[in-house]
Amino acid sequence: MYVFAKLLKALHSDAGPWSLAFGIMLGMIFGLTPLIKLHNLIILFLVLFCRVNLSTFLVSWGVFSVLAYLLDPLMMNLGEVILTSESLQGIWTSFYNTGFGRLSQFYNTLTMGSLALSLALSPLVLIASRILVVKYRLHVMAWMDEWRVLQVIKSSRVYQMYQSFGG
């Protein structure tokens, strides 16, 4: 309910569709990859420094974190394929021998697999998210405002609390 309310608030706010879409995209990378990694510090910097919508970022992070449990085996296999690929050995070896490379822990199959998958999906998720936001605002938002379920949500204590905290 809280997540849904947060998402609705973002969709119904004045935030631009790109801002919402970037939030979803970066939240996906944050959620799919292991949390305590160097690249997530960069994501955090981008989310906070750029005008990325925090609500969609947090919702997306939560949703993709759950999804990550299901995708872990697939992502580990993908990471192993990438890291053991003959043609990439030179690049990986050079990167492995740098301080940044070691700190990034790219040589872990889950880190590499999840990062590769989320980066590959990023443009798709970004564009699809933007289109969906625009379509929602154009076709669904007015109808949703009238929808009884939404009224119930808006009147719920969680939503009220959320509003009072300025979320």
Q: Which residues bind another protein (CB under 8 A)?
A: 34, 41, 44-45, 47-51, 76, 79-80, 83-84, 89, 92-93, 96-99, 102-103, 107-111, 113
Cα–Cα distances in Å, from 26 out to 31, 40, 48, 53, 87?
A: 8, 9, 11, 10, 29
Smallest gap, in angstroms, from Cβ of residue 124 to another protein? 22
Alpha-carbon torsion, ordered 87, 93, 96, 98, to 10 deg: -120
DSSP class of 136? I
Smallest gap, in angstroms, from Cβ of residue 112 to another protein? 8
Q: Which is nearer to another protein, 6 or 37 (CB)?
A: 37
**Cα(66)–Cα(10) distance, rounded to whole angstroms?**
21
DSSP class of 166? T
Q: Which is nearer to another protein, 51 or 139 (CB)?
A: 51
Smallest gap, in angstroms, from Cβ of residue 50 to another protein? 6
Structural contact between residues 19 and 29, judged by C-beta atoms closer than 8 angstroms: no
Smallest gap, in angstroms, from Cβ of residue 97 to another protein? 4
Query: Side chain identity at 30, as an amino acid letter?
Result: F
Q: Which is nearer to another protein, 92 or 162 (CB)?
A: 92
Q: Which is nearer to another protein, 41 or 134 (CB)?
A: 41
Q: Which is nearer to another protein, 11 or 110 (CB)?
A: 110
Smallest gap, in angstroms, from Cβ of residue 145 to another protein? 27
Cα–Cα distances in Å, from 123 out to 22, 26, 28, 72, 104?
A: 10, 11, 11, 21, 23
